[in-house]
Amino acid sequence: METFETELKLELDRASFKHASSAELPSGYSAGRPVTRNLRSIYFDTSDCRLRRAKWSLRVRKVGRDWVQTVKSGTAVSGGLSRPHEYEIQVSGPVPEPDKIEDEALKSVLSSLIGAGELIPQFETVIRRTTRMIEGGGGTEIELALDDGQIVSGERQCPITEAELELKSGSVDALYDVAKALVNGSPVRFSQSSKATRGYAFAAGEKSGPPKPKTAGEIDISHGDTAEIAFRAILRSCFDQIAHNRIVVLETEDPEGPHQLRIGLRRLRSAFNVFKKIIDPAASDELDRRARAIGAGVGNLRDLDVLIDEIVAPLEAEMPGSVQANPLISHIGDEREKVRENVRRMLGDPKTNDFLFDLAAYTEGRGWLTRQAIEQTAALAGPAPEFAARALNKQWKIAAEYGRRIEELKIEERHEMRKALKKLRYTVEFFRPLYKEKTVKPFLEKMKTLQDMFGYLNDVAMAEKLTGLPQAKGQKGASICLTTGFAIGWHEARATGAWTRAKELWDRTRKADKFWTK
């Protein structure tokens, strides 16, 4: 039988899993009797994993006394949400029988993927699954599955504890309403991969380890998409970057974590700004406000990372014998740990969960719609390339207006030009898939070089924050003051040349081909 699923997957720790098993549902929802089953699933692929590379999976699962074969395409997970194309059919035993598939188109594609290769077992999952049917208003039905078990590859095992919420009918918003009740305030972990993906990685010996910072992913849009489809794809990319790097900051001290989290939040706010003419501001303004508040807190931590890694530490080789970097670095580090504790407290607060759930519901539930707005409907349905060209042109004009007066810009205006350039770059990256790479890449390279130079000038201005740190006493305090003065003076002297270079880079960027006008 062929179906399309909408699933929300959450990774749970042991405490959250226990809570989810008996969590009280939101008002208006009721749950049926729980049913527990033991499931053994065997995943098959060719020796060179052709199905995995194509984002397909093929498994045979024992259900009671029966064996069920399942083929899934589109198994990628974004923000915990997946919509795989699934085909199930009963088979005679624990081996796949592709010839039994009645959907000829599906069977043809699967056959071409397998080719002449032999299907062999890759790994197994052994799961104790407890399911409940949850009902809500408007005919909403959600199947909640709590999975507790292992991925098995040879003699090795890897634990799995997760929740899957499958929308059977009703609005996708309901998935997030119910999920919010399950996590009990613990920092929510939206799964980035299916069981198949995790199983393949485990079988291949890929180590999980602590989470790694995540940069902005490629936006999944194409030339034939509408402006609304582009907006949703951009929001999904922002959401993934924010949700993932939140966990990085909570669990590691990698300075790239706060950096990428702040970028994700800024990209989100830029997306709201780019599309503001065609979306209802009622919901987006509130999400923007919350993103700005989180970004401000994370920014405090990121600024201290910059002071250590980019303002003070690189000067160690330049310092005369009477000036020592380590006391100042240690002093900033002490302040950074205090700020990190505050940031982690903010990111671990249930309110941050609420922000992520609300952003996800906004994204997947089309929260930007204004009821009975015919003009908005037409604008959202307009071609993405036409919208992109207008948006890029607008952002370029804002940056170019500052550039026109670049010789007379005051310090505050230079900062505003830096922000305008950053928004322009985000907008270019949002719509990059709509244009030929050979036309976008040269422009982006010039933008990046220019932005890096403006970024350095901003860091120089931020170096003044060194004088605002809590004062140390005694000899250490004197040493810190001396190093602070040296660092600020060194960078300010270099900033004069950097500003000249920035003006030259702007002139090159100004003359670059505006690929969106062709």
Q: Look up tokens 């992520």; give the residue.
A: 356
CB count in 10 Å sphere of residue 270:
22
As a whole number of angstroms, the distance between CA 81 and CA 430 comes to 21
Side-chain half-sphere CA neighbours of 504 within 13 A: 6
Local structure of 222: helix, strand or coil: coil
**How do the domains of the chain map onto residue ranges?**
2-203, 227-517
As a whole number of angstroms, the distance between CA 261 and CA 249 comes to 8
How many residues are recorded in the chain? Answer: 518
| Strand ranges for 259-314 from DSSP E | none
CATH of 2-203, one of 3.40.50.620, 2.40.320.10, 2.60.40.10, 2.40.110.10: 2.40.320.10
**Residue-by-residue DSSP string for 154-191:** TTEEEEEEEEEEEEEES-THHHHHHHHHHSTTSPPEE-
Encode 29-83 in three state secondary structure: CEECCCEEEEEEEEEEECCCCHHHHCCEEEEEEEECCEEEEEEEECCCCECCEEC
As a whole number of angstroms, the distance between CA 175 and CA 155 comes to 36
pLDDT (0 to 100) of residue 267: 98
pLDDT (0 to 100) of residue 85: 77
As a whole number of angstroms, the distance between CA 164 and CA 184 comes to 16
What lies within 8 Å, CB to CB, of 422 at 6+ separation is 266, 451
224, 64 in Cβ contact below 8 A?
Answer: no
Phi-psi region of 55 (alpha: psi -120 to 50; beta: other; left: phi over 0): left
Q: Mark the ranges of the chain whose per-residue pLDDT is less than 70.
A: 1-5, 74-84
Q: What is the homologous superfamily of the domain 227-517 according to CATH?
A: CHAD domain (1.40.20.10)
Q: Look up tokens 């008996």; give the residue.
A: 22
In the chain the first and final C-alpha atoms are separated, in Å, by 48
What lies within 8 Å, CB to CB, of 213 at 6+ separation is 245, 248, 254, 256, 257, 259, 260
Local structure of 484: helix, strand or coil: helix
Query: Can 2-203 and 227-517 be said to share one CATH topology?
Result: no
pLDDT tens digits along 151-177: 999 999 999 999 999 999 998 889 999
Q: Look up tokens 């010996």; give the residue.
A: 205
Q: Look up tokens 């003070």; give the residue.
A: 312
Phi-psi region of 115 (alpha: psi -120 to 50; beta: other; left: phi over 0): left
As a whole number of angstroms, the distance between CA 59 and CA 68 comes to 8
User: Whose CA is closest to 457, among 403, 409, 496, 509?
Assistant: 496
Start-end of H helices in 349-436: 350-364, 374-380, 384-404, 411-431
What lies within 8 Å, CB to CB, of 42 at 6+ separation is 59, 60, 61, 94, 121, 124
pLDDT tens digits along 385-428: 999 999 999 999 999 999 999 999 998 899 999 999 999 999 99
Dihedrals phi, psi of 254, to nearest 5 degrees: -60, 120
175, 190 in Cβ contact below 8 A?
Answer: no
pLDDT (0 to 100) of residue 116: 85
As a whole number of angstroms, the distance between CA 219 and CA 237 comes to 6
Cα–Cα distances (Å) from 432 to 199, 223, 275, 318, 471, in that order, read 33, 10, 16, 41, 47
Give burial (CB, 10 Å; 0-12/13-18/19+) of 168: middle
Q: Which two tokens stand for residue 171?
A: 């609005």
pLDDT (0 to 100) of residue 186: 84
